[in-house]
Amino acid sequence: MWNYEKMSKKRVQCEIINRLLSFLASIRYNHRVIKKKEIMVLNAVERKIDQYVSELDDAYVASLYRKLPHGKRLRTKLILKIAGSDLKVVKTAATVEMIHAASLLHDDVIDDAYTRRGVVSLNASAGNKTAIMMGDILYSKAFFELCSISPEVAKVVSNAVVQLSLGELADVELSKKFHTNREAYLKMVYQKTASLMEASAESAAILAGKPRNAYRKYGHNLGMAFQMIDDILDITSDSKTLGKPALHDFLEGKVTLPYMYLYEVLAEEDREYLLSLYRKRLSADEALWIQSAMRKYEIIEKSYFEAKELIVEVIKLMESLGEKDLSNIAKEMIEREF
């Protein structure tokens, strides 16, 4: 069983091992070549997005795009790992990143978010209206380009955007009052977070002529686990590590799995106390009460175990397909800091 109290020490050990491995790897020619190629293809995706944006022939839009933070390009890395570096693959990654950026723009308007990836969000700096329109522009240009890549990929990706938009609405609805509807929550997580990861992996498999269902499963589980772990981190991390206040989800009305599980095991009186903290800006004592209760009833372990199960399933799946890198990406996900 994983023990979050020992994680900090474990993380230090991991860091040392990683740096050592990284040093060893750096003197191996083979690795250098692979790494260099990876960076080249990642750059090719950035250049493709720049090209798509410049084709819009609108200086203002181009200047707005330059202000958006790039993020980790997770979906691109996934696509490239599965499908290599053909032009169609680069184009698909570019459209998926534009769709992801568009969804974040609208997401930030919906959530009244004032920062994104550590910088001021576009809705905060240029207004909600500009953020909405910029989102529409990125969405539609991505759709337009998808039509020329592959009808199958276009279907898979546009279906993910349908799910994404439905998930955004479901998220707002589910955040209006406390609930313990696990099924509705998981459906929303699938729609809002997992669907585009799933579509990225499936599209890449289609382009590479690999078995699409297996890769679809991989993207799906990775996306679900990613969000479930994010939900846990909101409870266990300090504000500094998160870059936002801890226990922020509950304040925003988001009843994530740990809160449902905690509610279910609490006695009546404590349940009422928990409910009284819902959507409330918490004092240090109140926050501590939630965190202690989560610890006492081993809620974090239970929630983490669920995410881990999803990951273990796809680690096995990817190993059976000889996809060592993809299996490693999944492994890294369950080694994030708690």
Complex with a second copy: residue 171 or 323, whichever CB lies closer:
171
Q: Are 227 and 323 in contact (CB under 8 A)?
A: no
Chain positions contacting a second copy, by CB under 8 A: 56, 58, 60-61, 106, 109-110, 128-130, 132-134, 136-137, 139-141, 143-144, 146-148, 151, 154-155, 158-159, 161-162, 164-166, 168-170, 172-173
Complex with a second copy: residue 121 or 327, whichever CB lies closer:
121
176: DSSP letter: S
Complex with a second copy: residue 85 or 150, whichever CB lies closer:
150
Give residue 13's identity as a one-letter amino acid code.
Answer: Q
Listed in order, strand segments (DSSP E) in 68-197 are 115-116, 119-120
CB of 151 to a second copy, least distance (A): 6
CB of 182 to a second copy, least distance (A): 18
Going by their DSSP bridges, the two strands 115-116 and 119-120 should be labelled as: antiparallel
224: burial class by Cβ within 10 Å (0-12, 13-18, 19+)? buried
CB of 221 to a second copy, least distance (A): 22
Query: For residue 181, which phi and psi values (nearest 5 degrees)?
Result: -85, 85
User: What does R_g of the chain's alpha carbons equal in angstroms?
Assistant: 21
Complex with a second copy: residue 131 or 246, whichever CB lies closer:
131
336 sits in the region (left: phi over 0; alpha: psi -120 to 50; else beta) called beta
Complex with a second copy: residue 8 or 54, whichever CB lies closer:
54
Helix axes 74-83, 87-110, angle to 10 degrees: 160
CB of 169 to a second copy, least distance (A): 4
CB of 212 to a second copy, least distance (A): 16
Complex with a second copy: residue 143 or 273, whichever CB lies closer:
143
CB of 71 to a second copy, least distance (A): 20
68: DSSP letter: S
Complex with a second copy: residue 165 or 237, whichever CB lies closer:
165
Sequence-distant (≥ 6) Cβ neighbours of residue 179 within 8 angstroms: 255
Complex with a second copy: residue 75 or 106, whichever CB lies closer:
106
Give the C-alpha separation, 261 to 303, whole Å.
8
CB of 256 to a second copy, least distance (A): 20
- Residue 91's CB is within 10 A of a number of other CB atoms, namely 23
Complex with a second copy: residue 173 or 325, whichever CB lies closer:
173
CB of 163 to a second copy, least distance (A): 9
Give the C-alpha separation, 173 to 271, whole Å.
22
Sequence-distant (≥ 6) Cβ neighbours of residue 40 within 8 angstroms: 85
Give the C-alpha separation, 63 to 61, whole Å.
5
Query: For residue 266, which phi and psi values (nearest 5 degrees)?
Result: -75, 150
CB of 141 to a second copy, least distance (A): 5
